Every structure is written in structure tokens, then in C-alpha cells.
Amino acid sequence: MASDCIQLSPTDNIAVLTRSVGAEDAVRIGDATFSFPQALGLGHKIACRAIQPGEKILKYGAPIGSATQAIQVGEHVHLHNMKSDYLPTYTLEAGREFHATP
């Protein structure tokens, strides 16, 4: 999309800012214009579709976590409205046990 964002895969429901933007700056996402109450750096995520609570957040066409609340198009997506779904299968303790085993 010709905008201040890049969608890394056509199936993604978020786009990534390609430049840093100031608070209340006009930010182009596709054909629409949005603004944010706070400054956001390059790399931050903006919803390019409406996202339901619990829905997967897709970046590079892959799930990178899920929404913890409803997210509107043009809303900033970060720690406040999404969470990791990754369950580490290791712990420091397990690691020590593993390496102590001959």
C-alpha cells in the first residue's frame, strides 16, 4: 500500500510504520488517514483490519500473538492490546537439568 506503512504479507491484519511519526501527525494507511495521541517509532504496528478479542495478530502471514481486546482499524497494536501465545518449552531449571544429564 502506498502509505506510511508496509503490509509484510497480504493476509496480515496489521501494517508496520515505515517512518517515525509525531503525536497527532497525519499518518497514511492505504487510502485512509489516522493520527495517534503519542509519537510512534518506525516498526510499530497499526491495525489495517478490525480485530476481534482473541483473534490472532498476523505479521509476515504468521501469528505473532493474539488480541486481548477489540482493535479498530488504524489503532496502534502493542503490549496494551495484544499478548504472546508462545509457550516456552524450556526453563532455566530444565536447561540446567538437561545439561547435567550425561
Partner 1 sequence: MNTLIERSWLRADGRKGIRNTLVVAYLVECAHHVAREIQMPYRESGAHLIGFSGCYPNDYSFRMMRSLCTHPNVGGVLLLSLGCEGFNRNGLRDAIRASGRPCELLVIQNSGGTRSTIASGRERAEAILTEMASQPRGPMLTSELCVGTVCGGSDGTSGITANPGIGRAFDQLVKAGATCIFEETGELIGCEQIMAARAATPALAAELTASVEKAARYYTTMGHGSFAPGNADGGLTTQEEKSMGAYSKSGSSPISGLIKPGDVPRTGGLYLLDVVPDGEPRFGFPNINDNAEIAELIACGSHLILFATGRGSVVGSAISPVIKVCANPETYRNLPEDMDVDAGRILEGRGTLDEVGAEIVQSIESTAAGHPTASEALGHQEFVLGYKSFSPIGPSCHPTYQ
In the chain, the N- to C-terminal Cα span, in Å, equals: 55
Binding region for partner 1 (CB under 8 A): 2, 6, 8, 16-19, 40-45, 59-65, 77-79, 82-86, 88-92, 94-96, 98-99
Task: Between 7 and 72, name the residue whose CB sits nearer to partner 1.
Answer: 7
Task: Between 54 and 95, name the residue whose CB sits nearer to partner 1.
Answer: 95
Rounded CA gap, 85 and 102, in Å?
Answer: 33
Rounded CA gap, 25 and 40, in Å?
Answer: 10
- Helix, strand or coil, per DSSP, at residue 22: coil
Task: Between 64 and 73, name the residue whose CB sits nearer to partner 1.
Answer: 64
User: At its nearest, how many Å lie between partner 1 and the CB of residue 73?
Assistant: 18
Nine-digit cell string for 14: 496489521
User: At its nearest, how many Å lie between partner 1 and the CB of residue 97?
Assistant: 9
